[in-house]
Amino acid sequence: MHGGSVGCFEDLFKLLYLKLVRIKNVCMKRLIYVLAIVALCIDISAQDISQWRGPSRSGVYNETGLMKKWPAPGPKMLWHFDNLGDGFGSAAVTSSGVYITGLTGETGFVYALDHQGKLLWKKEYGKDWNGSHVGTRATPLVIGDKLYLISAFGKLVCMSTSDGKTIWSIDFMKQYDARNTEWGIVENLVYDGNVIYCVPGGRDANIVALDRNTGKIIWKNKGTGEISGYSSPLLIKLSGRKLLVTHMERSITGIDASNGSVLWKSELVNQYSIHPNVPAYVNGYLYCTVGYGVGGVMLKLSADGSSVSTVWKNSDMDPKIGGFVVLDGKIYGTGDFHRGFYCLDWLTGKTLYKISQLAPANIIANDVLLYLYSERGQVALVEPQAAGFNIISQFAVPMGQGPHWAHLVLHNKRLYVRHGRSLMVYNVAGN
């Protein structure tokens, strides 16, 4: 074989080798990228998470093995903690502990308790609401080793769950010209992966997305220009888009979660601009309701979420603070002006039946049963039936003071009831 031919083969081999190396490097980079994404997803999904109104923020829990009927005096109280500050936020419960807020003087604190009710730590996060209806508003959002909440004065904090140390904070009033409401900002934060969304209602930062690890602004948007409506957003995941839906001062607003742009507005107004009930979304339909006699509206989303149309309205069920739940094509909740405990048909909006007991009340659900906590201080276990409600069991909350406004929490076969400065924990495990 001639030397020139050998050199030609050597050159060809080198060329092929370099191409293979390049291909390998590209593949490795892609593989590393994919593995990083997978690791991130695994990390997020594996973390212990607690958020307001349960795993899906709908008030519907997924506990198993619970009592179908309580003893006459109520389920057994396992422990109570009576040294909370004033507040209306619910407990955030994870395997590591129980986290709840309270106000002393003008200062808001986070309390961390173990599962026997022992205080692990107590840390201040700043000024909170000392005006009309004194007390903290927020239920903490807990994701793994981090806890997030926003005060009534628009300060958002991220704290360590191990010791309460502040990791980062943002003051929307000072930094982004947020505007307060008559009774303070009332918002329970919503997240998606490593993003936290909030609606401080500011002129500059009306709607905001933040990196939850650093607090850095991903985007902020002037949005509708309306102030916040005492509400927490709902995150809707469509096939091609994610939407934030929230009550503002005078409207229900749909927002593109990728950039904060307003996609649509639908007017829903009451005399006090108070809209604390999170909407419900099922298969392209969105139900929203407010208090003070206005009631609810069913909206149909377009396929891409860029617009809505009105399907029906019903003024009967007008909860002010208690929320509602959707089970098996029925909407369950209580009225404010229209006092009563209602069942509405999801598709038609028809009022199927009502009872006068236990209203007004906040409401959660587990399996086929409803759990109600009334403003009168009664906790009830209720079975919805074809033609009415069966009140199976009920008991009076024995401790605390002030309005009964904190929402119930179910976790690991325990029922958490907050009344003012007291947190009571009941065993609701079945036999």
pLDDT in tens, the chain (431 residues): 444 444 444 454 454 445 544 545 544 545 444 444 444 444 444 579 999 999 999 999 999 999 999 999 999 999 999 999 999 999 999 999 999 999 999 999 999 999 999 999 999 999 999 998 999 999 999 999 999 999 999 999 999 999 999 999 999 988 887 888 888 888 999 999 999 999 988 888 889 999 999 999 999 988 888 888 888 999 999 988 999 999 988 899 999 999 999 999 999 988 888 888 999 999 999 999 999 999 999 999 999 999 999 999 999 999 988 899 999 999 999 998 999 999 999 999 999 999 988 889 999 999 999 999 999 999 999 999 998 999 999 999 999 999 999 999 999 999 999 999 999 999 999 97
C-alpha 381/C-alpha 372 separation (Å) is 7
C-alpha 309/C-alpha 153 separation (Å) is 35
Are both 112 and 15 inside the same structural domain? no
Parent domain of 396: 47-427
Are both 261 and 349 inside the same structural domain? yes
Are both 36 and 77 inside the same structural domain? no
Are both 22 and 170 inside the same structural domain? no
Q: What is the CATH number of the domain that holds 154?
A: 2.130.10.10
Total domains in the chain come to: 2
C-alpha 293/C-alpha 271 separation (Å) is 9
What's the token pair of residue 210?
Answer: 């933040």
Q: What DSSP designation does 226 have?
A: P
Are both 199 and 156 inside the same structural domain? yes
Q: How crowded is residue 217: how many other Cβ atoms within 10 Å of its Cβ?
A: 14
C-alpha 246/C-alpha 286 separation (Å) is 11
Cα–Cα distances (Å) from 409 to 22, 230, 346, 390, 415, in that order, read 55, 20, 25, 21, 6
E strand segments, 151-233: 155-160, 166-171, 190-192, 195-198, 207-211, 217-221
Are both 305 and 334 inside the same structural domain? yes
Are both 186 and 114 inside the same structural domain? yes
Annotate 293-342 with DSSP letters as a single string.
TTEEEEEEE-TTSS-EEEEEEE-S---SSS-EEEETTEEEEE-SSS-SEE
Are both 234 and 315 inside the same structural domain? yes
C-alpha 272/C-alpha 183 separation (Å) is 11
Are both 27 and 102 inside the same structural domain? no
Quick one: which H or E segment has residue 206? none
pTM equals: 0.88
Closest CA to 146 of 129, 131, 158, 163: 158
Are both 293 and 313 inside the same structural domain? yes
Are both 108 and 205 inside the same structural domain? yes
User: pLDDT tens for residues 150-197?
Assistant: 999 999 999 999 999 999 999 998 888 788 888 888 899 999 999 999
Give Dmax (Cα) for the chain.
103
Are both 35 and 51 inside the same structural domain? no
C-alpha 393/C-alpha 51 separation (Å) is 27
Residue that is written with structure tokens 């399996």 in the block: 367
